[in-house]
């Protein structure tokens, strides 16, 4: 073959290029494999199983699982009603949202509308550090600092009973944890609002408050809602802080001063004990995890949908 | 905004009244926003000060160089430190090549077809999966390998002999390698997204120039695109690693032990490695603990002195994370200064 031939032909170099492209594609497929793996693992232990084995929902009826109000897999009289765990999870996520969402959105407004570049250059790294603090540290903070020095004195003088492990302290730290996420995602959304909109507002004689609250925030609404949904999903999936600070009693309560158990802390609790594979207790792990995974997945997809569907497009 | 009604005195409803009212509202709102923002700073300070205060007197050389103990005054973090190091090194070995490879594929090779779109959507969803779910994945796939091996399994293999007396156990069991693989899957989306952004920031002119000179696609990527994107990729990788460093839940799931009095492969000093090089190969297949898990264990202890031990552990953890974050900021800063385009 002459070196000037333009025919595509097999050469070692071309084969090498092909091989590289294929191996890079395989790398990209690892992420698909991960998702497939998660779904398969969760479904295989809880919904279907290979015949000699029995899946969780073949031993416990889904009706009992989703409507039962008693969760006691470790007792002789086993009950598998997931509602207490779901209730605990959403109690803590609710407190976290009450703490984290307002602070997050207000600081996003501050960073995008009011702060000077210098202030931004100080605040942004602080938020990054806050976002990088491991969740065990927040658990310690809730258990040894927030409960004894904040919650106990206040609510005891008001005449309430406060448990050493309580949902409120866990909710507060999870709220602190989601502030950086809400703040940075919402700030991105606020900054994407074009300047002309703000200037039009000022030209009409509005104050900065009017412009921020009545022009910029509504214009960035989809991005803000998306960030809220992501943050709540994060709060629902939060594990260590909740395990440490909220305790391990699966009770159906909305009292934030009581000890509750979340889906995540149940999973941790079972895995700490020596639960042999194949027992119903072990399989309940997968059922609870499937439940948790579905909830967070729905919230994530919803957040992406809101982002796409309701985004205002400016040119 | 109400329509201004021209009147002389600032009575309620008048323009002047509206203006002062508006100004007050504005000031109030700005203060509220500023207080919210700076409150996060206050929380950070309170957290660091209170933890350091509790750790004071407990964080000493003895704490850094001894193993865990049932007695709080003799407990140390050495097993966690060494375990965390092994964990992170192996996690990097798995996650960085795969993550950067995936990003290169998505940015440089992929055409906009169904598969690429699925991969992109999937990445966004994976980033939102709670870390404990990765723990369950790791427990089933790596620790137990679906129960395929061992007594009741389909295959009766003890393990694959490796080097010296080191064997790859099947299934992996509650070992460093299981933990590292789980963490790799966990941080993969973070690395891929960061690397994608870094690759996107490389101007196309660079690629065109290289291709015009007759370089192949891979040569262009290998010698032009990747070196240019390296600082961005590094920043993303360091941040992902610092996330893996503090991660606890998945490792609790795969069964990193809470009370461990040894280092992986029993390697506590370089001397051990020289005497017995096979220990380097054994270490990844050894049981282990990491710093966050030791902290978790100390927090759960009934003895109240252990909260000081836990605080000392937290200080160590935070120092490591701060160093990693500082490194990321340094790399970003340096690359911004040396930007070539």
CB proximity B21 to A under 8 Å: no
- The answer to whether A73 and A280 are in contact (CB under 8 A) is yes
Task: Please say if the pLDDT value at position A314 is more than 80.
Answer: no
Q: Do A45 and B140 count as a contact with CB atoms less than 8 A apart?
A: yes
Where is average pLDDT lowest: A76-80, A146-150, A196-200, A254-258? A76-80
Using 50, 70 and 90 to split pLDDT, how confident is the model at A29?
A: very high
Rounded Cα–Cα distance for residues A64 and A284 (Å): 13
- Which chain B positions have a beta carbon within 8 Å of A240's beta carbon? 248-249, 252, 292, 296
pLDDT in tens, B196-232: 999 999 999 999 999 999 898 999 999 999 999 998 8
- The answer to whether A89 and A263 are in contact (CB under 8 A) is yes
CB proximity B16 to A under 8 Å: no
Task: Please say if the pLDDT value at position A170 is more than 70.
Answer: yes
- Which chain B positions have a beta carbon within 8 Å of A264's beta carbon? 130, 132, 249
DSSP A161: -
> Token pair 């898990």 is at which residue?
B293
Q: Do B318 and A133 count as a contact with CB atoms less than 8 A apart?
A: yes
For residue B26, give Cα distances in angstroms to A213, A225, B32, B150. 10, 24, 10, 70
- The answer to whether A202 and A113 are in contact (CB under 8 A) is no
Q: Which of residues 68-127 of A touch B (CB under 8 A)?
A: 102-103, 106-107, 109-111, 113-115, 123, 125-127
- Which chain B positions have a beta carbon within 8 Å of A100's beta carbon? none
- Closest by Cβ to A106, choosing from B32, B126, B243: B32
Rounded Cα–Cα distance for residues B310 and B287 (Å): 22
What percent of chain A is modeled with pLDDT above 90?
47
Rounded Cα–Cα distance for residues B312 and B302 (Å): 17
Q: Which chain A residue shows the shortest CA-CA distance from B182?
A: A34
Task: Please say if the pLDDT value at position A59 is more than 90.
Answer: no
Q: What is the mean pLDDT of residues B35-58?
A: 91
A152 CB contacts (<8 Å, ≥6 apart)? A162
Q: Do A110 and B43 count as a contact with CB atoms less than 8 A apart?
A: no
Using 50, 70 and 90 to split pLDDT, how confident is the model at A6?
A: low
Q: Do B41 and A285 count as a contact with CB atoms less than 8 A apart?
A: no
Tokens encoding B238: 């360091």
Tokens encoding B315: 């200080």
Q: Do B47 and A264 count as a contact with CB atoms less than 8 A apart?
A: no
- Which chain B positions have a beta carbon within 8 Å of A137's beta carbon? 47, 51, 246, 295, 314, 317-318
Peptide bond preceding A308: is omega within 30 degrees of 0, i.e. cis? no
Where is average pLDDT lowest: A66-80, A110-124, A205-219, B31-45? A66-80
Q: What is the pTM of this model?
A: 0.89
- The answer to whether B198 and B232 are in contact (CB under 8 A) is yes
Q: Which chain B residue shows the shortest CA-CA distance from A146?
A: B47
Q: What are phi and psi of B167, to 5 degrees?
A: -130, 150
- Look over chain A and give the mean of its residue pLDDT values, rounded to a whole number: 88
Q: Which of residues 201-220 of A touch B (CB under 8 A)?
A: 204-210, 212-213
Rounded Cα–Cα distance for residues A24 and B89 (Å): 22
Tokens encoding B81: 């430190």
Task: Please say if the pLDDT value at position B288 is more than 60.
Answer: yes
DSSP A71: B
- The answer to whether B91 and B187 are in contact (CB under 8 A) is yes
- Closest by Cβ to A130, choosing from B44, B118, B126: B44
CB proximity A30 to B under 8 Å: yes
Rounded Cα–Cα distance for residues A138 and A243 (Å): 11
For residue A51, give Cα distances in angstroms to A44, A54, B150. 11, 7, 20
pLDDT in tens, B296-337: 999 888 788 888 999 999 999 999 998 988 888 888 888 776
Q: What is the mean pLDDT of residues A129-158?
A: 89
CB proximity B171 to A under 8 Å: no
Q: What is the mean pLDDT of residues B14-37?
A: 84
**Nearest CA-CA partner of B49 in A42, A261, A149:** A149
Rounded Cα–Cα distance for residues B165 and B160 (Å): 11
Report how far Cα A109 is from the mean position of its chain's Cα atoms: 22
A175 CB contacts (<8 Å, ≥6 apart)? A95, A96, A97, A98, A99, A100, A103, A235
Q: Helix (H, G, I), strand (E, B), or coil: what is residue B166? A: strand
Min CA distance, B243 vs chain A (Å)? 7
- pLDDT of A58 reads 82
- pLDDT of A63 reads 86
Q: How many A-B residue pairs are in contact by the CB < 8 A criterion?
A: 253
Rounded Cα–Cα distance for residues A268 and B167 (Å): 30
- pLDDT of A34 reads 94
A26 CB contacts (<8 Å, ≥6 apart)? B101
- The answer to whether A311 and A237 are in contact (CB under 8 A) is no
Q: Which of A98 and B285 is assigned the larger pLDDT?
A: A98
Rounded Cα–Cα distance for residues A270 and A266 (Å): 6
> Token pair 């090089």 is at which residue?
B277
Tokens encoding A134: 């491991």
- Which chain A positions have a beta carbon within 8 Å of B135's beta carbon? 267, 271
User: Quick one: chain B helix, strand, coil %, rounded to 5?
Assistant: 70, 5, 25
> Token pair 């000179």 is at which residue?
B213
Q: Which chain A residue shows the shortest CA-CA distance from B196?
A: A28
- Which chain B positions have a beta carbon within 8 Å of A293's beta carbon? 129-130, 133
ipTM of the complex as predicted: 0.90
CB proximity B205 to A under 8 Å: no
Buried b (16+ CB within 10 A) or exposed e, B256-280: bbbebebbbbebeeeeeeeeeeebe
Q: Which of residues 273-292 of A touch B (CB under 8 A)?
A: 277, 285-286, 289, 292
- The answer to whether B80 and B63 are in contact (CB under 8 A) is no
Min CA distance, A306 vs chain B (Å)? 14
Range list of β-strands (E), chain B: 159-163, 166-169
- The answer to whether A251 and A163 are in contact (CB under 8 A) is no
Rounded Cα–Cα distance for residues A284 and A51 (Å): 18
- pLDDT of A228 reads 95
pLDDT in tens, B62-121: 888 888 888 888 888 888 899 999 999 999 999 999 999 999 999 999 888 899 999 988
Rounded Cα–Cα distance for residues A52 and A56 (Å): 13
Using 50, 70 and 90 to split pLDDT, how confident is the model at B135?
A: very high
Q: What is the mean pLDDT of residues A19-34?
A: 93
Instruction: Please tell me the total number of residues recorded for chain B in this structure.
Output: 341
List alpha helices for chain A, DSSP H.
12-46, 56-59, 62-67, 83-109, 117-132, 135-141, 152-157, 167-191, 195-203, 208-210, 217-219, 221-237, 240-246, 263-272, 280-309
- pLDDT of A13 reads 81
- End-to-end, the C-alpha distance of chain A in Å comes to 55
Where is average pLDDT lowest: A190-199, B16-25, B213-222, B332-341? B332-341
- Which chain A positions have a beta carbon within 8 Å of B41's beta carbon? 123, 126
Q: What is the mean pLDDT of residues B49-70?
A: 86
Q: Do B136 and A285 count as a contact with CB atoms less than 8 A apart?
A: yes
- The answer to whether A230 and A245 are in contact (CB under 8 A) is no
Question: In terms of CATH architecture, what is A63-309?
Answer: Orthogonal Bundle (1.10)
């Amino acid at each position: 073959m002459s070196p000037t031939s333009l025919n595509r032909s097999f050469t070692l170099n071309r084969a090498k290029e092909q091989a590289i492209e294929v191996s890079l594609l395989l790398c990209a497929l690892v992420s698909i494999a991960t998702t497939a793996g998660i779904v398969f693992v969760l479904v295989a232990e809880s919904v279907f199983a290979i015949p000699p084995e029995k899946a969780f929902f073949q031993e416990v009826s889904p009706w009992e699982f989703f409507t039962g109000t008693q969760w006691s897999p470790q007792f002789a009289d086993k009950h598998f009603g997931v509602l207490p765990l779901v209730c605990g999870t959403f109690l803590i996520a609710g407190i976290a949202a009450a703490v984290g969402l307002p602070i997050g959105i207000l600081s996003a407004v501050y960073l995008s509308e009011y702060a000077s570049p210098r202030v931004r250059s100080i605040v942004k790294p602080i938020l990054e550090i806050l976002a990088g603090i491991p969740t065990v540290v927040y658990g310690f903070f809730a258990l040894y600092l927030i409960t004894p020095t904040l919650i106990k004195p206040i609510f005891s003088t008001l005449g309430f009973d406060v448990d050493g492990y309580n949902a409120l302290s866990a909710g507060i730290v999870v709220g602190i944890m989601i502030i950086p996420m809400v703040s940075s995602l919402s700030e991105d959304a606020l900054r994407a609002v074009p300047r002309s909109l703000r200037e039009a507002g000022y030209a009409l004689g509005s104050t900065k408050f009017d412009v921020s609250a009545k022009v910029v925030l509504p214009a960035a609404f989809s991005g803000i809602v998306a960030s809220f949904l992501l943050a709540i999903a994060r709060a629902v999936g939060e594990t260590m802080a909740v395990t440490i600070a909220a305790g391990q009693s699966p009770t159906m309560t909305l009292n934030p001063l009581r000890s509750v158990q979340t889906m995540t802390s149940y999973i941790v609790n079972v895995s700490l004990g020596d639960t042999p594979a194949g027992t119903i207790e072990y399989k309940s792990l997968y059922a609870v995890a499937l439940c948790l995974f579905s909830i967070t997945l729905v919230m994530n997809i919803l957040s992406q949908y809101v982002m796409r569907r309701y985004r205002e497009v400016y040119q | 905004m109400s329509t201004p009604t021209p009147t002389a005195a600032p009575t309620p409803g008048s323009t002047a009244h509206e203006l002062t009212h508006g100004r007050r509202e504005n000031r109030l709102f700005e203060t509220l926003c500023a207080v919210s923002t700076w409150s996060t700073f206050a929380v950070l300070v309170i957290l660091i000060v209170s933890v350091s205060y509790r750790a004071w007197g407990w964080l000493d050389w003895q704490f850094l160089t001894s193993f865990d103990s049932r007695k709080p005054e003799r407990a140390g973090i050495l097993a966690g430190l060494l375990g965390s190091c092994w964990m992170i090194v192996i996690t990097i070995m798995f996650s960085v090549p795969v993550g950067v490879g995936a990003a290169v594929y998505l940015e440089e090779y992929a055409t906009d077809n169904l598969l690429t779109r699925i991969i992109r959507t999937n990445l966004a969803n994976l980033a939102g999966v709670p870390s404990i779910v990765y723990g369950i994945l790791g427990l089933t796939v790596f620790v137990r390998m679906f129960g395929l091996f061992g007594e009741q399994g389909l295959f009766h293999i003890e393990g694959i002999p490796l080097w010296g007396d080191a064997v790859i156990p099947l299934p992996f069991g509650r070992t460093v390698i299981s933990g590292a693989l789980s963490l790799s899957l966990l941080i993969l989306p973070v690395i891929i997204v960061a690397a994608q952004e870094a690759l996107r920031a490389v101007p196309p002119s660079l690629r065109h120039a290289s291709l015009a000179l007759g370089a192949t696609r891979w040569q262009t990527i290998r010698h032009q695109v990747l070196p240019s994107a390296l600082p961005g990729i590094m920043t993303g990788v360091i941040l992902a690693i610092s996330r893996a460093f503090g991660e606890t839940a998945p490792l609790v799931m795969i069964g990193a032990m809470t009370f461990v009095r040894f280092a992986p492969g029993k390697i506590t000093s370089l001397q051990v490695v020289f005497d017995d090089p096979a220990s380097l190969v054994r270490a990844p297949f050894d049981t282990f603990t990491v710093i966050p898990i030791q902290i978790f264990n100390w927090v759960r202890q009934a003895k109240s002195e252990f909260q000081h031990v836990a605080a000392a552990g937290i200080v160590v953890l935070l120092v490591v994370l701060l160093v990693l974050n500082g490194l990321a900021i340094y790399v970003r800063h340096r690359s911004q200064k040396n930007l070539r385009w």
